[in-house]
Amino acid sequence: MDVSVIIVSWKVRDLLRNCLQSIYKETKNLNFEVFVVDNNSGDGTSEMVLNEFSQVRLITNQKNLGFAKANNSAIKKSLGSTILLLNPDVKITDNAIKKSFDFLKSRNDIGIVGCKILNNDGSIQKSVRKFPDLVSHVIILLKLHNFINNFRSIKKYYMLDFPGNKTRQVDQVMGAFYMIRRELIDQIGLLDGHFFVWYEEVDYCKRAIQAGWKTFFYAETFIKHSKGQSFSRLKPMSKQFILNRSMLYYFYKHHSKFDYLVILLLYPVSIFLAGVVQMLSIKKRSNNF
């Protein structure tokens, strides 16, 4: 088995259907299997997969386990020499899975590969970043980057000058299309299940580099991604709680105690600011009636 494709899905049944259709239509000359892990969607996702995609290996959870734990449950059952973690709001194009697999296998030092990601309008989606640093994340927690867009640390962290048309080694790639060599998993283990969602792929890239592997952005193929469809259903405060918890844990694992304490102290401030955003959005909707 060349590639095990693993899709964790939550409340995006129709997008998942499109994703699965694109995988089987656009993937050629590759021996692959597909797992769908339904995180208790409650929208008919499992039934749709069973009825329309009998070749898919379905795992149905009784509650939402989050991204890392759900992926891990499928990785343990997978047979591929390479694992592809794929978001359900992705459409495969250009035989991207096969081309990315060939690129990963072309060099023995590559542990993780992400390909070019396009928005639905064809524009390039920013999908590579530097590893988190304290200054950029203080700005993010305080929401300052939403009002002032010329912070040097923000430009550096988000790699805003990255052209997106050149294959190169990077710190991290987006988890929407996240290809992992089996030998890397054997060496450093599974995703860290303490991350519910967000930062788990950042943590994995960090662990991979620490173990001597490289992460690459591969620009010679592309997919399309309708970004953030599952979590668009959550209110701003709920998303902020999840983001903060993951951010805090990442800084606990990979940064100094000082950095961790700064993030911890700003935790309630960012929750308050998210609450203000939520109240303003509710007020705006009510004024539209």
* Per-residue pLDDT reduced to its tens digit, 266-288: 999 999 888 776 666 544 444 44
- What is residue 284's predicted lDDT score, i.e. its pLDDT? 47
- What is residue 281's predicted lDDT score, i.e. its pLDDT? 59
Report residue 68 as tokens.
Answer: 């890392």
Q: Do 158 and 37 meet the contact criterion of CB atoms below 8 Å apart?
A: no
* Whole-Å CA distances, 108 to 13, 37, 213: 37, 30, 9
Q: pLDDT tier at 214 (50, 70, 90 boundaries)?
A: very high
Report residue 121 as tokens.
Answer: 């309008």
Q: Do 67 and 37 meet the contact criterion of CB atoms below 8 Å apart?
A: no
- What is residue 230's predicted lDDT score, i.e. its pLDDT? 62
- What is residue 287's predicted lDDT score, i.e. its pLDDT? 45
pLDDT digits (tens, 9 = 90+) for 60-73: 999 999 999 999 99
Residues 207/173/78/220 CA torsion (nearest 10 deg): -130
In the chain, domain spans = 1-126+162-230
Q: pLDDT tier at 238 (50, 70, 90 boundaries)?
A: confident
Topology (CATH level 3) of domain 1-126+162-230: Spore Coat Polysaccharide Biosynthesis Protein SpsA; Chain A (3.90.550)
- Pick from 24, 29, 7: nearest CA to 84: 7
pLDDT digits (tens, 9 = 90+) for 136-178: 999 999 988 878 778 999 999 999 999 889 999 999 999 999 9
Q: Is the whole-model pTM more than 0.85? A: yes
Contacts for 47 with CB less than 8 Å, ≥ 6 apart: none
Q: Please give the share of the chain, as a percent, with pLDDT higher than 90.
A: 84
Q: Which residue has the higher pLDDT, 125 or 238?
A: 125
The span from the CA of 187 to the CA of 54, in Å, is 33
Task: Phi first, then psi: give them for residue 67, nearest 5 degrees.
Answer: -70, -50
CA atoms within 13 A of residue 18's CA, in its CB half-sphere: 13
